[in-house]
């Protein structure tokens, strides 16, 4: 019996996005939070999704605190950046987020 081997084909663009990086995880959690928030507006008694949302919020908050320390950006400025991205009501993209962080780092140096 011959086993089918699955070869993952990763595009060059995905390679540029370091999926393990803190920035990518924050963007990913932000997109999940937006999705779950809109879901909970329709399904108010979905307590399991609400619990999942609280867990994701906690994870993102810890990552943001770590990222603020790592990049030496004032937490207040960093929080304003995240609030600005959340208000867009669209998916947050990794490249856009990374560029904004780099701009904040340059400003604080």
Q: Identify the band that residue 81 occupies on the pLDDT scale cut at 50, 70 and 90.
A: confident
What distance separates the 2 farthest-apart alpha carbons in the chain? 61
Q: What is the pLDDT of residue 6?
A: 42
How far is residue 14 CA from its own chain's centroid? 15
Residue range 85-102, pLDDT digits in tens: 777 767 777 777 778 778
Q: What is the pLDDT of residue 30?
A: 86
How far is residue 53 from each of residues 36, 38, 44, 83, 91, measured CA to CA in Å?
A: 7, 11, 13, 17, 17
CA separation for the pair 37, 40 (Å, rounded): 5
Residue range 2-43, pLDDT digits in tens: 444 444 433 344 456 677 888 888 888 988 998 999 999 999
């Amino acid at each position: 019996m011959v086993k089918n081997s699955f070869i993952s084909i990763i595009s060059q663009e995905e390679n540029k996005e370091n999926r393990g990086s803190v920035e990518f995880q924050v963007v990913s959690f932000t997109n999940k939070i937006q999705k779950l928030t809109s879901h909970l507006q329709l399904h108010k008694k979905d307590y399991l999704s609400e619990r999942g949302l609280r867990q994701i919020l906690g994870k993102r908050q810890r990552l943001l605190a770590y990222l603020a320390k790592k990049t030496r950006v004032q937490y207040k400025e960093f929080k304003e950046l995240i609030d600005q991205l959340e208000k867009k009501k669209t998916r947050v993209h990794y490249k856009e987020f990374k560029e904004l962080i780099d701009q904040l780092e340059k400003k604080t140096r």
